[in-house]
Amino acid sequence: MAESAAVQLSGADKAQGFCASRVHLAPGDILPAWVFSHLRTDHAGEVGAVCIYQGVLQFARDPKLRAFAEHHLATEQKHLRLISDWLPASQYSRLLPLWRLAGFLTGALPALFGPKAVYATIEAVETFVNQHYEEQILALARQIEFRHLRQTLLDCQADEVTHRDEAAAAFKGFSQSSWMLRAWCAMVGAGSKAAVTLIRHI
């Protein structure tokens, strides 16, 4: 199966004894099924992230919050393009409409309650995303053929950590969170984890 091949080598390459570990894979190359599985979660996650900020912008009126959302939306759109370069459309999650809706609601609902709820939500989401990217980066660390892919994930992770820290700093400007907000953030984190498990297969 093409999905299970790490790279397609020409007959001449095989004759010269080339192996996958000597090749630096690039966007558009054939990747192993397990890598596609991880990238499917990243792609769906970035689709959801774009929709989160679109949901925030749909209802937020605070100028500072809107500027925050617009800036981070542009970054998430860049991430989506980068991941899409690595993942063929045939490998996208078949539940993308669901992830778009979930993302939009994750941004829109807290926006109805004000900046505090949005910043807390973004911090919760990005805390999970950072951990998610870290697991993949560690899995690719010892495989030199995935160096370019690993760097793409590292770049995305760095942006997500910045988003998390900016949201956390903005959240500190408000009074202590209520139990309802803490419960909402816990649900967002748990929901993100459950979604990743499902996306790996669908």
The verdict on residue 176 lying in a domain is: yes
- The angle subtended at Cα 132 by Cα 163 and Cα 117, nearest 5°, is 40
Q: How confident is the model at residue 142 (pLDDT cuts 50, 70, 90)?
A: confident
**Considering just the CA atoms, what is the radius of gyration of the chain in Å?**
19
The verdict on residue 151 lying in a domain is: yes
Across all residues in the chain, what is the average pLDDT? 87
The verdict on residue 20 lying in a domain is: no
pLDDT of 8 above 60 = no
Q: 142, 89 in Cβ contact below 8 A?
A: no
Least confidently predicted of 21-30, 106-115, 164-173: 21-30
Q: What is the CATH number of the domain that holds 51?
A: 1.20.1260
Residue 25's pLDDT is: 80
The verdict on residue 6 lying in a domain is: no
Q: How confident is the model at residue 138 (pLDDT cuts 50, 70, 90)?
A: very high
Q: How confident is the model at residue 17 (pLDDT cuts 50, 70, 90)?
A: very low
Q: Provide the whole-model pTM.
A: 0.84
The verdict on residue 117 lying in a domain is: yes
Element (H, E) at 149: helix 147-171
Half-sphere exposure of 197 (CA within 13 A, CB side): 6
- Buried-exposed string 54-68: b where 16+ CB fall within 10 A, e elsewhere: bbbbeebeeeebeeb
Q: How confident is the model at residue 176 (pLDDT cuts 50, 70, 90)?
A: low
Per residue in 21-77, pLDDT tens? 446 787 877 888 999 999 999 999 999 999 999 999 999 999 999 999 999 999 999
- The domain tally of the chain equals 1
Residue 6's pLDDT is: 38
Least confidently predicted of 29-33, 87-91, 196-200: 29-33
Position with higher pLDDT, 169 vs 178: 169
The verdict on residue 193 lying in a domain is: yes
Distance between CA atoms of residues 93 and 36, nearest Å: 11
Average pLDDT over residues 76-93: 95
Give the three-class secondary structure for 165: helix
Domain that holds residue 157: 32-199
The verdict on residue 161 lying in a domain is: yes
The verdict on residue 132 lying in a domain is: yes
pLDDT of 165 above 50 = yes
